[in-house]
Chain A
Amino acid sequence: MHSITVTVNGQAYTKEVEARLLLVHFIRDVLALTGTHIGCDTSNCGACTILINGRSVKSCTQFAVQADGKEITTVEGMAGEALHPIQEGFKEEHGLQCGFCTPGMIMRASDLLSKNPNPSEEEIRWAISGNLCRCTGYNNIVKAIKYAASKMTEEVVES
């Protein structure tokens, strides 16, 4: 067992974990943050995407011990009182059906918009090309991310 300290959604956790424990299982089973989903077991679907120090990572591709000392954001950490503009975009643009891929899509979009606040449609499609939606709502997901981009740009201008 290894002791790790990880900050998740602003809260620090110190836990004893097995070396083989995947980060996604640490988040879901140890911290009970089940908004991060598992869809494929082979790092193809992106349902488990989270942010580590602001960069999006498929949390099934890392061990929990690798996250020691890092800052993690999961979908549960996105909303304050109001929804985050990306979350609002998915709601307003019907960017979801069953919702299982949605948290991963939102976290991936968050990384994209932090680096590229005004992405083209092509850039959005490339950005989410590692995230699988089996209800296949991609066109509305792209619209949702565009919605968020323009809303976040407005907010920056206003402030």
Chain B
Amino acid sequence: MTLTVTPDTYNFVAFDTAYTARIAEHMATQLGLDDIDILVAINENSSLTRIEVEVTDSLMTIAPHSGALEDTRRPRQQSELNTTITMARGMLRGRDRLRGGFADAPADTELSLPQAAIWDTYIMGRIAHMDIEVNKQAWVYNFRNRHGFSDAVDAVFEKVWNSSHSTWAELSALSANTVSVTA
């Protein structure tokens, strides 16, 4: 497995490529991704928090916008925690698609907002269970924004957050059912 981080130098942010690579390597090992090449291509021109992921059998490409690795308290500085979470989010999504029962999931750009939210909940729940510091309430709020503000929706959130093995078929059905009950 090779892991590459680009770019080498930055114009707009004070990020460190070697530091990012160390975090990414550690995460890849933790997630059992030592049999695939990984490219982390940071888009420093955008301050958004988006993470784009593409996977083939031999290469996983994770392309976070710089806001996803940033310390929101100190603009343009890199945050170790946010870098860790972003690497974990990108790699878990790639791993889900590759061998986690998500092969039939639509491309990221084709996901509806509720579908994206339930998958993010599944990913962030697993990250929280890896003892990485995650603000759970932020993800509760995101899930509610996409599925509705009710106790029934919160119960679905808890179920997904605490799940360690789910498939796209299960999650997409659960999301559709939750949206239709709330509507």
Is the pairing of A and B real? Answer: no
